[in-house]
Amino acid sequence: MDLTSFKVQHPALCDAARMQALGAHEPAPGAREFDLSPEKLESFSIAAPKDPGTLPGMLKEGPEAVAYYVSFRTDPDRFGTYLREAGVKALKEEYHRIIWRDLGKYADKPIEDVADRIEYTLVLDYLLTHVRFHYLVDAIAATREMADGRPRYLPYLEWRVAASRKPPTTPNEVVDLEEALANLEAFKNFINPTYCDAIARLMQGRLDERNVQEWQAFFVGARWGTEVANAISRQPPGFRDFTKFLNRTTSVGAYSYVRVKYSYNKDAQDRALKTLSLRIDGVEPPSDLASAPNHFTLEPPPHRVYLVG
């Protein structure tokens, strides 16, 4: 599947003006392609100062304040994920604050280099996974459109924008399902024991073993996931609703502190993905989704990532 030729082959499905009116992004001038090879990521850092407006911006726009998707329908030569460097730096420093609040006292040796690597990894994984979900929605719609010629993506965007402007009618209603699922997909790593253990293991050999165990307890024990969930819960409606597709448990710890823990709920995510699949097809989801299709098994072709700033 070559999506770079989609606009030429299906111009009627790629109305740039209509898409921009519905919130589609354009490539940023001067953006540079980001090399995601392991060697480059190993030493990746941003020297520029952070943008102090990033965190307030995320309260209004979610991760799109830092990272956004440009569609192959509007710019087939420069479509992909765009990362604002100053925003990445700001989110990295916020992650540093959260981690060091719990683990700073266990850093008994200089570990700035490893800490930077961990924090940039967490930030990039969150942002790139979130934006990739938007690309996946676009690619699914394009695949369906190529199969039968029926427009899907633009009508879906119109429905999505209209739905997001309406207040929820029930406590469980999600006003922007795509953003909720994008945040869910990005968040899942942070409660994945294998992923979190790999993050914590970067401290092995750099700290005393007892302190390494504290890092493992923080990440593998899901305290990190809870901290990130709390941060995302301040994002706009839709974005923050990803927790509706997770299991949530509480326990009372020392000093009557209530601890919240999230875990993966595959059934809830599958139902949400089936619902979104039907929405992309322009179909009203039935109450029983047992026989509904799930189009999110598609593996789209790779796309580029760009740095802005």
What percent of the chain stands above pLDDT 90? Answer: 90
Token pair in block for residue 269:
């995510």
Which amino acid belongs to residue 260? V
Give the mean pLDDT of 7-11. 97
Q: How far apart are CA 236 and CA 179, in angstroms?
A: 10
Residue 155 has a pLDDT of 98
- Rounded to whole angstroms, how far apart are CA atoms 183 and 177? 10
pLDDT level of residue 255 (50, 70, 90 thresholds): low
Whether 250 has a pLDDT exceeding 90, the answer reads: no
Predicted pLDDT at 257: 62
**Is pLDDT of 204 > 70?**
yes
Kindly state the average pLDDT of the residues 113-137.
97
Per residue in 214-225, pLDDT tens? 999 999 988 999
Distance CA 92, CA 49 (A): 11
Give the separation between CA 71 and CA 141, rounded to whole angstroms: 12
Average pLDDT over residues 114-138: 97
User: Is residue 256 scored above 60 in pLDDT?
Assistant: no
pLDDT for residue 95 is more than 70: yes
> What integer pLDDT is reported at residue 106 of this predicted model?
92
Residue 174 scores a pLDDT above 90: yes
Q: What is the mean pLDDT of residues 93-99?
A: 97
Mean pLDDT of 140-159: 97
Q: Indicate if the pLDDT at residue 258 is higher than 80.
A: no
The reported pLDDT for the residue numbered 113 is 93
Percent of the chain with pLDDT over 70: 98
Tell me how far CA of residue 33 lies from CA of 81, 82, 303, in angstroms: 10, 9, 11
Q: Residue 172 pLDDT more than 80?
A: yes
Highest mean pLDDT among 104-108, 248-252, 270-274: 270-274
Out of 74-88, 138-152, 216-230, 257-271, pick the least confident. Answer: 257-271
pLDDT of residue 251: 76
The pLDDT score that the predictor gives to residue 171 is 83
Strands 32-33 and 304-308: antiparallel
Q: What's the pLDDT score for residue 254? A: 60
Q: What is the mean pLDDT of residues 268-280?
A: 97
Kindly report the average pLDDT of the chain as a whole number: 94
What is the band of 169 on the pLDDT scale with cuts at 50, 70, 90?
confident
Q: Give me the DSSP letters along the chain.
A: --GGGHHHH-GGG--HHHHHHTT---PPTT-EE----HHHHHT----SPP-TTHHHHHHHHGGGGTEEEE-TTT-TTS-EEEEEHHHHHHHHHHHHHHHHHHHGGG--S--HHHHHHHHHHHHHHHHHHHHHHHHHHHHHHHHHHHHH----HHHHHHHHHHHHTSPPSSTT--S-HHHHHHHHHHHGGGG-HHHHHHHHGGGBTTB-HHHHHHHHHHHHTTHHHHHHHHHHTTSPTTGGGGGGGEEEEEEE-GGGPEEEEEEE-HHHHHHHHHHHHHHHTT-PPPS--TT---GGG--PPP-EEEEE-
